[in-house]
Amino acid sequence: MVGIRLGELITFLDRQTAASFRGDAVDTFLRQNQVELDDLLDYTRFRQDCYARNLVWRTETYELLLLAWLGGQKACIHNHGGQRCWMTVAIGELTVRNYKPLSLTKPQPESLGTPEKYVQGDQVYIDDGLGWHSLENTTTKPTLTLHLYAAPVKECLIYDEKSQSIQKMELVSFPPTIEEVPADPSLPLV
């Protein structure tokens, strides 16, 4: 795997069409390249109450987020609003639990195997056809994961453990609008 600058990833992604996000070009590029950690630090914000969704870049075709996880933080069981999702662990460790797709007629989660641990450099792909999943930082150390969605995901379905039901959740990231993102992503950030 080759280390690349964030601007190189964004330049590649900006050249993709909605159709090419459904093909192999993005998969191949992500398997061969990983953004340098230093380029992600300006986008790193943690929250004490839950994991943080930090917006890196968004177009009509894709959305790039840096998720910041403190020890013990987790994302509930969820889908991806019909979009393809690629995740790379930039630093730290994250545990992923996969589930069969849930539906309103069958809202109880059914596990697909044992939890999987991913560490720095590991990549994961998921879409709603493969299933739903939950993510958790089961360590005491912070973790950063870079997430690419084949189109911006404004809302998704979640499984609420308290009510044991499926609910729609609006997704919010920081900064909430693209105007607050640094103007030129091709410039080095460090």
CA-CA distance, 131 to 149, in Å (whole number)?
A: 15
pLDDT in tens, 22-46: 999 999 999 999 999 999 999 999 9
Beta bridge pairs of residue 33: 2
CA-CA distance, 39 to 190, in Å (whole number)?
A: 7
Is residue 183 helix, strand or coil?
coil
Band of the pLDDT at 176, cuts 50, 70, 90?
Answer: low
Structure pTM? 0.90
CA-CA distance, 22 to 113, in Å (whole number)?
A: 26
pLDDT in tens, 41-85: 999 999 999 999 999 999 999 999 999 999 999 999 999 999 999
Domains observed in the chain: 45-174 (2.60.120.10)
